[in-house]
């Protein structure tokens, strides 16, 4: 099932109160790929905010396992509607328990004399010059069959690397109709945590909290476009890691900043 189909299904289930289930092809072991669960929950929450208020920041807590092929429902709450900013929360409930919790901040543009230009940039080879990430046949999670990852710097998971950073490019293997914030949310989480490459044998890791901030105004992008990604592990100790990443469009414009807290079980 294509990402666009799942997004439409989430909208439908939110409107009707029906249950939804994610197929194993979007799985990460027995659980749903976190980027997808975040994207569909955001989509449901987005429908409760006015169109002129764009997504400024999104906080996602992966509270418990969201299992593939098991039905779940959505809950959305409007926390506050201000003059220009809306604060909302949303939940995915499976088997009577919260699996994913999310809070979004949506804000309309306002007149301001303050303007600070972003100067973060990257210098990476173009994706066509880079090796692709492992596919499912080589042991990668099922969801990677839907996403292209071109690795520019760093190493594959479980290769005893001394590096903890990951640089590369990402896009959908089957181009969507258009790129929305939901599509970008899904793509950003597709990369494995940088600390996994430091491990010598397969070991689990789990994102606990994920903060994603969006830079506006968005520039138009084509559904076939690549997005650049650079992630650095800021610190890791005692079973937890903290990573930060920048995401650019293919014109070199910063579009999002990502921060994650990760539990590692090595």
Boundaries of every domain in the chain: 1-109, 122-266
Contact (CB, 8 A) for 264 and 236: yes
Mean pLDDT (10-residue bins), the chain, 266 residues: 96 95 95 97 96 96 97 98 96 98 96 88 93 73 94 91 94 96 97 90 90 90 96 94 96 95 92
What is the pLDDT, as a whole number, of residue 136?
A: 54
What is the pLDDT, as a whole number, of residue 137?
A: 52
Its CATH class, for the domain covering 122-266, is mainly beta
Contact (CB, 8 A) for 160 and 119: no
What is the pLDDT, as a whole number, of residue 63?
A: 97
Give dist(CA 217, CA 153) in Å, integer.
29
For the range 72-80, what are the long-range contacts, defined as Cβ-Cβ under 8 Å and sequence gap of 24 or more?
72/19, 72/20, 72/21, 72/99, 73/13, 73/17, 73/19, 73/20, 74/10, 74/13, 74/14, 74/20, 74/41, 74/44, 76/14, 76/44, 76/45, 76/48, 78/48, 79/103
Q: What is the pTM of this model?
A: 0.95
Q: Exposure pattern of 168-177 as b/e (b: 16+ CB <10 Å)?
A: bbbbbeeebe
User: Can you tell me which residue has the tokens 């929450």?
Assistant: 45
Give dist(CA 19, CA 75) in Å, integer.
11
Its CATH class, for the domain covering 1-109, is alpha beta
What is the pLDDT, as a whole number, of residue 25?
A: 96
């Amino acid at each position: 099932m294509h990402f666009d189909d799942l997004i439409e299904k989430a909208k439908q289930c939110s409107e009707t109160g029906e249950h939804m289930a994610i197929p194993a092809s979007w799985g990460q072991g027995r659980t749903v790929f976190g980027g997808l669960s975040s994207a569909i929950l955001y989509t449901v929450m987005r429908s409760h905010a006015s169109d002129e208020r764009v997504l400024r920041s999104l906080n996602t807590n992966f509270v418990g396992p969201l299992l593939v092929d098991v039905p779940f429902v959505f809950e959305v709450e409007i926390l506050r509607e201000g003059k220009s900013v809306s604060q909302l929360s949303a939940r995915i409930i499976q088997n009577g328990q919260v699996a994913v919790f999310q809070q979004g901040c949506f804000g309309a543009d306002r007149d301001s004399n303050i303007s600070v230009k972003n100067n973060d940039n990257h210098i990476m080879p173009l994706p066509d010059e880079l090796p692709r990430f492992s596919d499912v046949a080589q042991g990668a999670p099922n969801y990677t069959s839907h996403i292209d990852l071109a690795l520019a710097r760093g190493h594959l998971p479980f290769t005893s690397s001394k590096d903890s950073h990951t640089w590369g490019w990402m896009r959908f293997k089957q181009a969507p109709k258009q790129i929305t914030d939901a599509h970008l949310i899904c793509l950003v989480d597709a990369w494995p945590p940088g600390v996994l490459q430091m491990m010598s044998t397969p070991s689990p890791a789990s994102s606990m909290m994920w903060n994603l901030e969006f830079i506006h105004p968005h520039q138009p992008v084509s559904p076939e476009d690549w997005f650049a990604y650079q992630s650095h592990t800021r610190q890791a100790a005692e079973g937890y890691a903290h990573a930060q990443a920048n995401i650019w469009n293919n014109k070199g414009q910063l579009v999002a900043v990502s921060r994650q807290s990760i539990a590692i079980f090595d």
